[in-house]
Amino acid sequence: MIITVEHLGPETLRLAVIRAAGLDLTVRPEKFDDRLDQLLLERGQGLSEVEDEWRQSVRDILRNGRYKPTGRGKPASEYLLRAAADDSFPRVNAAVDICNFISLYSLLPVSIWDLDKAHTMRYVVRLGDENESYVFNSAGQTIDLADLVVGAAVTDEDPGGIPIVNPVKDSMPTKTSHGTTQVAALVYSRIEDGPTGSLESICDFFEDLLAACGQDAEASAAVVSPGNTVRI
C-alpha cells in the first residue's frame, strides 16, 4: 500500500514522511523502554544551549500568517519536554510511544494517524483555511487551524483535503488505537538540520523503530521539501 503526500506548506518547512503496516501495537522494539527511560532522564535534566536555541527556532515553522506559536499553540514537542521534566510523559501504545520518543529525541513536532480511519492514501500538507478546525480530544475540544500547518486527507469529494493532523494537536477521528495496524506519520522540521541530527537520519530511525512492532511489520520513509510530492 502506497501513500502520497504533497507538500504545499511554507518554504521554511521540510517534512519526513513515514508509513508503516502490519503493526502489532502491543509489541515494542527490543530495549525500547530502556532507551526511552534514558532519554527521559537526559531531557529531564535540561537542554544544552545549542539544543534550546534549536527548540525555540522550531517554532518558526508554525509562524505563518496570523498564527503565533505561543501558549497552547506551541509545537507538541515542547509539551513532551515539559512532561519529561515533571515525570508525566504519556504512554499510549507502541506507535504513539515511538512517535513521542522521536519527537523528544529530535526536539521536533511529530504527527501520527491511523490510515484506515483516514479512508484515503492521498494527503496534502498546507496552511489551514480561515474557518477550519477539528476536535482533538475525547472531551470534544477543538483547535482553530487558520494559518496553522496541517496535514489533510484528500479524496475526490474533498480535493483540498480535510485536516487531520498538525504540529500542535492531532485530530481525534484519526488517532491510533490498540487495534491499529497501519499508520502514517509526519516529522515537521526546519529546512536546515539541527543539533540532534539530519532529518534523513531521524527519518530512518523512526522507520526502523516502527518496523520492529510485530513480526509482520514493515515501514518506509522519505524526506520531502516544499513544492514536492513523495510516494512511499
Helices (H) and strands (E) in the chain, counts: 6, 11
Q: Which amino acid is at 197?
A: G
Count Cβ atoms within 10 A of the Cβ of residue 38 and give its class: 0-12 exposed, 13-18 middle, 19 or more buried: exposed
**Nearest to residue 192, comparing CAs of 47, 31, 11?**
11
Which helix (H) or strand (E) covers residue 56, if one does? helix 49-58
Q: Which amino acid is at 141?
A: Q
Question: Cα–Cα distance between 52 and 107 in angstroms, integer?
Answer: 9
Cα Rg of the chain (Å, integer)? 16
pLDDT (tens digit, 9 = 90+) per residue, 67-103?
A: 999 999 999 999 999 999 998 999 999 999 999 999 9
Question: Cα–Cα distance between 137 and 80 in angstroms, integer?
Answer: 17
pLDDT (tens digit, 9 = 90+) per residue, 151-195?
A: 999 999 999 999 999 999 999 999 999 899 999 999 999 999 999
How does residue 111 score in pLDDT terms, banded at 50, 70 and 90? very high
In the chain, where are the structural domains located? 4-117+182-231
- Does the pLDDT value for residue 118 go beyond 90? yes
Beta-bridge partner residues of 52 = none
